């Protein structure tokens, strides 16, 4: 009897081990490819295939967000950018029009795969969007059900205008301005982001003619000075190889000599390039002056806590160590309220009032975020 039981136990363990071994991560076929460009192409092809098979991007993308997080690795790290390509391809394949955009935008606030796919859709509509200078697409953005999706959509308009105007930054930024004060700042951030992407010919972009390579020069030009924060914000993350940002000193060294909006955007963008947790990023900000610390906080990835109220509220602990704690609480209140679509509840304590002030700004342009 004992022998039979032992055999049964062994067989059970063997069966469990075999089952565990057969459970491969999402899109495992691409994970082992050594050549970066081949791996990227593999992920983009299989992601598009998955979405096509589902028949409904709006509901499939939230599932992909979860599977990509579980898989980790290159898929999770690069899913946003993969989905730029996938979204544009899907839009072409399915002859997407502005009228149908709202029906297929992912039903998720996730800044990774879902946001990237939504941006790809809007970018794919570039030729249709420039017919009205972006105003027709803005109506679609404004009608989306959450503030985070609206922000992502408006940011995407900047990218789409750049593609529609063949990477003419001047025309794209002017078109953003004509969308009005509520949309122009976040639309312009998308346009500048696409400019830095295009300088290296990435994401199926076209290198701009007579391009200015230096943000210190470009962001100080009279046409763009008012958008210096947006101009600088995504510069560092588009550098290959990027800078090593592992301390407050490293951030401040990158932005040495800058003032005003240029300094704010440079510091925020440099902090965004720091490969650390939100808490680790915030520790760098704590070691800066009041003004520089608040600029730094704009680059901290607190969107990683979306949908996790306890972690969101706990994160306010960093403000107690900042040299401008009220400003910190106001920014976190604003951005967490965006992530929770107006339902965020500020933590009790000395910074509660400052947080509430920030939550009231959730409909205002974000300028830097996510």
User: Could you report the per-residue pLDDT of 338-364, keeping only the tens digit for each?
Assistant: 999 999 999 999 999 999 999 999 999
Q: No. of H helices and E strands in the chain?
A: 21, 0
Looking at residue 209, what is its pLDDT? 87
How many CB atoms lie under 10 A from the CB of residue 257?
Answer: 8
Looking at residue 62, what is its pLDDT? 96
Residue with the two structure tokens 């509520």: 182
Looking at residue 22, what is its pLDDT? 57
Q: Using pLDDT thresholds of 50, 70 and 90, give the confidence band for residue 6.
A: very low
Residue 11 pLDDT > 50, yes or no? no
201-238 burial, b at 16+ Cβ within 10 Å, e below that, comes to: eebebeebeeeeeebeebbbeeebeebbbbbbbbbbbb
Looking at residue 145, what is its pLDDT? 94
% pLDDT > 90, the chain: 88
Q: What is the DSSP string of 153-175?
A: HHHHHHHHHHHHTTT-HHHHHHH
- At 80 the three-state DSSP class reads helix
Residue 38 pLDDT > 60, yes or no? yes
Euclidean distance between CA atoms 256 and 258, whole angstroms:
6
Euclidean distance between CA atoms 18 and 12, whole angstroms:
10
Closest by alpha carbon to 303, among 108, 25, 70? 108
Q: For residue 191, what are the CA distances in angstroms to 153, 214, 222, 233, 307?
A: 12, 16, 17, 11, 29
User: Could you report the per-residue pLDDT of 199-248, keeping only the tens digit for each?
Assistant: 999 999 999 988 999 999 999 999 999 999 999 999 999 999 999 999 99
Structure tokens that stand for 158 in this block? 């900047």
Looking at residue 14, what is its pLDDT? 41
User: Could you report the per-residue pLDDT of 285-297, keeping only the tens digit for each?
Assistant: 999 999 999 999 9
Euclidean distance between CA atoms 177 and 102, whole angstroms:
23
CB hemisphere CA count around 135 (13 angstroms): 8
Looking at residue 211, what is its pLDDT? 95
User: Could you report the per-residue pLDDT of 60-91, keeping only the tens digit for each?
Assistant: 999 999 999 999 999 999 999 999 999 999 99
Q: Angle, nearest 10°, between helix axes 113-124 and 73-93?
A: 30
Sign of the alpha-carbon torsion through 79, 84, 89, 90 = positive
- At 288 the three-state DSSP class reads coil
Closest by alpha carbon to 369, among 309, 286, 281, 297? 297
Could you tell me which residue, 161 or 7, shows the higher pLDDT?
Answer: 161
Map out the domains of the chain as residue ranges. 35-211, 229-288, 311-364
Q: Using pLDDT thresholds of 50, 70 and 90, give the confidence band for residue 133.
A: confident
């Amino acid at each position: 009897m004992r022998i039979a039981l032992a055999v049964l136990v062994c067989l059970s363990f063997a069966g469990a081990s075999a089952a565990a071994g057969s459970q491969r991560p999402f899109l495992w076929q691409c994970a082992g490819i050594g050549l970066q460009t081949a791996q990227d192409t593999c992920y983009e092809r299989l992601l598009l295939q998955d979405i096509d098979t589902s028949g409904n991007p709006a509901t499939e993308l939230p599932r992909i967000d979860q599977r990509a997080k579980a898989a980790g690795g290159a898929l999770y790290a690069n899913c946003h950018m993969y989905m730029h390509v996938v979204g544009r391809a899907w839009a072409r394949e399915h002859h997407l029009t502005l009228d149908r955009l709202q029906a297929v935008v992912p039903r998720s606030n996730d800044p990774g795969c879902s946001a990237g796919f939504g941006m790809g859709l809007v970018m794919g509509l570039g030729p249709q969007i420039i017919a009205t200078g972006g105003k027709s697409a803005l109506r679609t953005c404004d009608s989306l059900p959450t503030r985070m999706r609206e922000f992502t959509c408006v940011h995407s308009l900047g990218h789409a205008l750049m593609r529609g105007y063949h990477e003419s930054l001047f025309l794209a930024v002017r078109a953003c301005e004509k969308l009005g004060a509520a949309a122009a700042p976040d639309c312009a951030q998308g346009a500048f982001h696409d400019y830095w992407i295009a300088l290296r010919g990435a994401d199926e972009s076209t290198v701009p003619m007579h391009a200015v390579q230096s943000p210190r020069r470009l962001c100080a030009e009279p046409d763009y000075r008012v958008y210096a924060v947006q101009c600088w914000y995504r510069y560092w993350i588009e550098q290959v190889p990027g800078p090593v940002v592992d301390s407050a000193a490293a951030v401040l060294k990158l932005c040495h000599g800058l003032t005003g909006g240029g300094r704010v955007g440079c510091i925020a963008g440099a902090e965004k390039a720091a490969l650390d947790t939100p808490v680790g990023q915030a520790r760098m900000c704590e070691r800066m002056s009041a003004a520089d610390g608040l600029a730094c906080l704009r680059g901290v990835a607190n969107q990683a806590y979306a949908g996790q109220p306890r972690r969101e509220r706990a994160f306010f602990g960093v403000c107690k160590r900042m040299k401008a704690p009220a400003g910190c609480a106001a920014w976190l209140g604003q951005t967490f309220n965006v992530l929770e679509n107006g339902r965020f509840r500020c933590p009790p304590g000395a910074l509660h009032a400052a947080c509430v002030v920030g939550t009231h700004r959730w409909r205002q342009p974000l300028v830097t975020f996510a």
